[in-house]
Chain A
Amino acid sequence: MRKYVPKDNVQKKAYYTDRFHVVPSVPRSKVEEGSHFADVMKTMGANVKESYIEIGQLVIHIAPEDNFKVMKMLKETCGYTQCSEQSAVDYLAKDNEFELFWQLLNITVAKRIRVVCRLANGAAIESIEPLYKSANFAEREMFDMFGIKVNNHPFLKRILMPDDWEGHPLLKTYPLHGDEFASWYEVDKIFGKEYRDIIGPENRDPGKIDIKDTKRFSRIGYEVPFAAEYNENEEVPVEYSETALVNYNKKTSIQLDERR
């Protein structure tokens, strides 16, 4: 059977896939008895759904409604005084969920913990801003990039994108070069909606080449006047070298060796 690929994931995908390629996983180990992480697990108790050590850091999975309670315990009992990062991963196409993570740091024992939870699409998460002030900006960024609402945040507002932007750029459904709204945003903002017909949508692909555009693109080997109309039957006065096998100057697509 063919592998299921979510249709609304518009990010770049591997062109070539090997049917027999088995994807290995990063090894996960159990928490060792008597280590610092074992003490953390004991304090956490029943709040933890799943836990393991991945690349030197303890990862604990929790329920999304417990996040404030768990962070408070981690901060006050276990000494995780810094929340270095928090964000989300989009799993909407596969599970209709977001995966949220918080990266915590304990500077006295030099250990890091990642707290992970799965949040259903459209649900809101409790803000941890009262515990870690760094969440103020981080949660705003998460809201901006994914549209995840945060309860009791002091000032939940877009941070990187403009306030009147539509769409959330880091969703898998959002194309790399922006959507329809993005292509009209600056035209509407600078000139006004009535100029849409005159100016046309913004080109958001920096690698785009338009052969009909004689204002920004020149021809190789010959010139056409600036802003000239595109001519379908343009005379191409360029001569390519002739090889023994193919004569590129002749119009026919396939040519055999004339010596035969």
Chain B
Amino acid sequence: MQVSNKLTPFFENLNFERDDNRMVINFGPQHPSAHGQLRLVLELDGEQVMKAYPDIGYLHRGIEKMAENMTYNEFLPTTDRLDYIASTSNNYAYALAVEKLLDIEAPRRAQAIRTMLLELNRIISHLFFVATHALDVGAMSVFLYAFREREFAMDLMEDYCGARLTHSAVRIGGVPLDLPAGWLENAAIFCDKIDHEVEHTYGALLNENRIWKMRLEDVGVISAEDALSWGCSGVMLRGSNVKWDIRKEEPYELYGELDFDIPTSDRCDSYGRFRMYMEEMKQSTRMIRQLIPLYKETKPQLMAHSPQYISAPKEEIMTQNYALMQHFVLVTQGMRPPKGEVYVATESPKGELGFYIKSEGEPYAYRLKCRAPSFFHTGLLQKLLVGVYLADVVTIIGTTNIVFGEVDR
């Protein structure tokens, strides 16, 4: 701790009391480019970072503890608060883990809707990444353009579930609602718009931008071994030329039937990762376009039929006594899944989002562990930041695309 007096006044961010020429500075947790609540303690030699220590926990809400004190359906809206940029992917990862535990499968229409929503959330999250990353590095206008398109995507989410940020758009066993009239047409228009904007606005502004390339090229280089060892996933792993996408390798929902490419980059730097985010948005629109005819072929069932765990549809509850009784028990007591443990990984926009659930047959999970991709990407910062210059620190934090809702949980 600093001892302040008249000769050595108290400086909030600087600690001069060192024998060598090094300076320790404190970055965050209120810094605008700290992506929420990241506190970084950096040891500097001149302008070069010698040691970096990411300090997290400023947004810790004990979500895993809450999961042990809530029934399975009660907990679902809480998962919105993990990665709040793309909430549906958290809802989905949790719902899928519970479905695997219960051994049920969502009906095909629900699968089509879920896959569309997941890809829409990926676009929302990637647009947010491009916007804030450009803003961190200093390109203000990209931020405004990307947020304009993100609003359209959030309008689509609002049309579907009524919420823009905390969607809770997925239920255990299916989805709560069918798509409203005109949604598919709007989604198709939105896909065309995104394809156009990615190519002609963000791409045209950034791809060959001299300043942007100078700030991003060869910054934050991660080798493939390091990326695997530090637990990187998603774009961070593929950016190091490791072709691993859970949607392709362990397909869930309708991803097995869709035709899409996995962009990888052998540059291993921030610029390569930025180009991959842009490419992934195009792949997402490609998937949504393929899903529109797939959706139209499906039957209208939205929730899985599994009376022991999932309430019957509303018409049955209102007309049949037994369905009403089961609904009453499921609402007041919660479902009791079988004894066992499950770990299910999904490809969220940030990387591998997995839920480990240990069930003892009670309505409350005995243990729930959320494997958040950003948590491990934050851990990587203590290696990645060593040796870089202070100006690149912001670029590197931006390129990891961490969200503190899921780092701290």
Chain A positions near chain B (C-beta within 8 angstroms): 11-16, 21, 23-26, 28, 54-55, 57, 59, 81-85, 87, 89-90, 101, 103, 107, 110, 112, 114, 131-134, 136-138, 141, 145, 158-162, 169-170, 174, 176
Residues of the B chain whose Cβ atoms lie less than 8 Å from the Cβ of A85: 343, 354, 356, 369, 371
B324-361 with Cβ < 8 A to chain A: 332-334, 336, 338-345, 352, 354, 356, 358, 360-361
Some 5 contacts from A to B, beta carbons below 8 A apart, are A13-B364, A14-B362, A24-B338, A87-B356, A170-B65
Q: State how many residues of chain B have any CB contact under 8 Å with chain A.
A: 57
Residues of the B chain whose Cβ atoms lie less than 8 Å from the Cβ of A81: 228-229
Partner of A23, one of B56, B68, B244, B338: B338
Q: Is B9 an interface residue (CB 8 A)?
A: no
Q: Do A159 and B56 have beta carbons less than 8 Å apart?
A: yes
Residues of the A chain whose Cβ atoms lie less than 8 Å from the Cβ of B340: 25-26, 28, 54-55
User: How many CB-defined contacts (below 8 Å) exist between A and B?
Assistant: 131
Residues of the A chain whose Cβ atoms lie less than 8 Å from the Cβ of B367: 89-90
CA distance A133 to B103 in the complex (A): 34
A58 smallest CB distance to B (angstroms)? 12
Residues of the B chain whose Cβ atoms lie less than 8 Å from the Cβ of A159: 56-57
| Partner-contacting stretch, out of B87-95, B111-119, B372-380 | B372-380
Q: Do B408 and A160 have beta carbons less than 8 Å apart?
A: yes
B246 nearest in chain A by CB position? A110
Q: Do B352 and A84 have beta carbons less than 8 Å apart?
A: yes
Other 5 A-B pairs with CB < 8 A, given A54-B342, A134-B231: A107-B228, A110-B249, A133-B379, A133-B383, A170-B65
- For the complex, would chain B's binding face be called helix, strand, loop or mixed by DSSP majority? mixed
Q: Do B342 and A55 have beta carbons less than 8 Å apart?
A: yes
B248 nearest in chain A by CB position? A110
Q: Do B250 and A110 have beta carbons less than 8 Å apart?
A: yes
For the complex of A and B, list the 8 residue pairs with the smallest distance between their C-beta atoms, beginning with the closest: A26-B340, A134-B231, A23-B361, A137-B379, A160-B57, A110-B249, A85-B371, A24-B338
CA distance A183 to B361 in the complex (A): 33
CA distance A162 to B29 in the complex (A): 14
Q: Do A23 and B336 have beta carbons less than 8 Å apart?
A: yes
CA distance A57 to B250 in the complex (A): 12
B103 nearest in chain A by CB position? A26
Residues of the B chain whose Cβ atoms lie less than 8 Å from the Cβ of A137: 375-376, 378-379
CA distance A54 to B358 in the complex (A): 12
Q: Is B101 an interface residue (CB 8 A)?
A: yes
Partner of A21, one of B334, B336, B383: B336
CA distance A161 to B58 in the complex (A): 8
Partner of B69, one of A12, A55, A90, A133: A12
A185 smallest CB distance to B (angstroms)? 13
A129 nearest in chain B by CB position? B229
Residues of the A chain whose Cβ atoms lie less than 8 Å from the Cβ of B360: 23
1/0 per residue, CB under 8 A from A, across B178-193: the answer is: 0000000000000000
From A82, A110, A158, name the one whose CB has the most chain B CB atoms within 10 angstroms. Answer: A82
Q: Is B366 an interface residue (CB 8 A)?
A: yes
Q: Do B231 and A112 have beta carbons less than 8 Å apart?
A: no
Residues of the A chain whose Cβ atoms lie less than 8 Å from the Cβ of B336: 14, 21, 23
B287-313 with Cβ < 8 A to chain A: none
B228 smallest CB distance to A (angstroms)? 5
CA distance A192 to B313 in the complex (A): 56
From B244, B379, B380, name the one whose CB has the most chain A CB atoms within 10 angstroms. Answer: B379
CA distance A199 to B243 in the complex (A): 57
Residues of the B chain whose Cβ atoms lie less than 8 Å from the Cβ of A136: 379, 382
A73 smallest CB distance to B (angstroms)? 17
A22 nearest in chain B by CB position? B361
B58 smallest CB distance to A (angstroms)? 9
Q: Do A23 and B379 have beta carbons less than 8 Å apart?
A: no
A101 nearest in chain B by CB position? B356
Q: Is B233 an interface residue (CB 8 A)?
A: yes
B50 smallest CB distance to A (angstroms)? 16
Q: Do A84 and B338 have beta carbons less than 8 Å apart?
A: no
Residues of the A chain whose Cβ atoms lie less than 8 Å from the Cβ of B376: 134, 137-138
Partner of B228, one of A13, A82, A87, A158: A82
Q: Do B333 and A16 have beta carbons less than 8 Å apart?
A: yes
Q: Is B152 an interface residue (CB 8 A)?
A: no
Residues of the B chain whose Cβ atoms lie less than 8 Å from the Cβ of A134: 229-231, 376, 379
